[in-house]
Amino acid sequence: MKKFNFQLIFIIFIALALRLYNLGFGFLHTDEAKTALGIDFPHSFLLPTLSVFSQNIFGINNFAVRLPFALLGVVFILVSYFIGRELYNQRGGLVAAFLATFLPVNVILSRTAFLDIALVTAWSFIILFWIKVEKEKRYIDFFFLFLALFISPWFKIQAVYLFFVLFLYLIFVKKGKFWRDKRFWLLVLSGIPFCFYFLSQPQQLYDMMHYTGDEVGSPWSGLIKFFVLLWQSYGFFLIFVLGGFFLMLLKRDWQKKSNILFLIFLFFIFLVLGSTPKRMYYYVMLDIPFIFLSVYFFSYFAKKRWLAILLMSLVVVNLFFTTLVLNKNIFLEEENRKKQMCDRVNELVQEMPEIKNVFLDTNFGFTYKWCLDTKIKKIDNLFNKEIYHNINFIAVLNQDTWHDKKELFKDILVEDYQDMKILIRKK
């Protein structure tokens, strides 16, 4: 027992190091800045509040913005350990925690203020207490399951995806008599508040659906991009996932209730990813089923330690390599570009203190609201002629906006900067 606890502490220490080291590095992505500013719906009600609370304690900086998400990433690893222990034994729990520690997208998102790491952490709590209720049926576990179900959508609205998975699981396992299971009624009670919310504000639901429809693209190109992002997210780790999947079918272990749950979870998330915008951060939703398919695979090497060690070493090397590549390709290029632009606007504001108005295109708005003390306004406000002719301003436009509105800006200074236009009016 002590040996395994020591190993778990060591794993958590590694997880903390990976997620906290140099956490404030770089520049906030637009979505991160939105969270830092405390802007909540439609994606989350609670997480922006946590980020603002962290800033109140640790100051207005990147580290404080991202800290709650880094800690949630570590919590996910701890909960993965408990799920693995419930399903297998302590060794299974340690393997689950070990894999969760190094999953590439999980590490990267834990080091940002993107909301998706909170999603998988909330899901892990639901699955843990769902399994405990199935095994022991204790009232305390029912209570914590209800608490996890009720709170999870407040962290991220997409948590309700798991509600559908659990409902399908009950239909499959209970042979159609799902309403006799108390957990079904917990699902219903937990989902009622959000049904009322969307019924009272249908525009919010419409906006989310409209955005998704615009971003998905054609089925064929979407399918190709799905496999590309899947490979970029997990690399050779997919070998162990597929190994666990086919081994489960070969051994006919798919009929076990826990395995049915993860298989339904896996296929449902595949459907979700196929019908949503192709963004790397969505692929963290596969972490839970992928981890436990891999744990199932490694469980067959318990008596062949040299082989298990070799396979684990290959996993760690691959995940470290993939993490470095993903981190470079996904975030650093955009962060550096925006940081340079922000620094340039800051220079102009300092050089011309009489200019109190900064106008930005929408795609840069949240980022610059975060990094500039000057009050930021949307670029649309500048196109009012009464405003335009009566104030000094700095405006940052993208190329599309510039081509549409350049006739309006004939008499002012225009600076080309990267792929943007910086406009300066100084009377």
CA distances from 412 to 388, 391, 399, 400 (A): 11, 12, 17, 18
Contact indicator for 235, 319 with CB cutoff of 8 Å = yes
pLDDT number for residue 230: 84
pLDDT number for residue 37: 79
* Token pair of 194 as six digits: 């959000």
Query: Among 161, 144, 141, 145, which Cα is nearest to 153's?
Result: 161
pLDDT in tens, 252-301: 888 888 889 999 999 988 888 877 766 777 888 899 999 999 899 888 77
pLDDT in tens, 192-239: 776 666 665 555 554 555 444 444 455 556 677 788 888 877 877 888
Contact indicator for 3, 39 with CB cutoff of 8 Å = no
| Residue located via tokens 């998706």 | 116
Q: Find the Cα–Cα–Cα–Cα dihedral 293, 294, 299, 301, rounded to 10°.
A: 140
Average confidence (pLDDT) over 385-402: 72
Q: In which band, very low, low, confident or very high, does the pLDDT at 1 lie, cut at 50, 70 and 90?
A: very low
pLDDT number for residue 214: 47
pTM of the model: 0.81
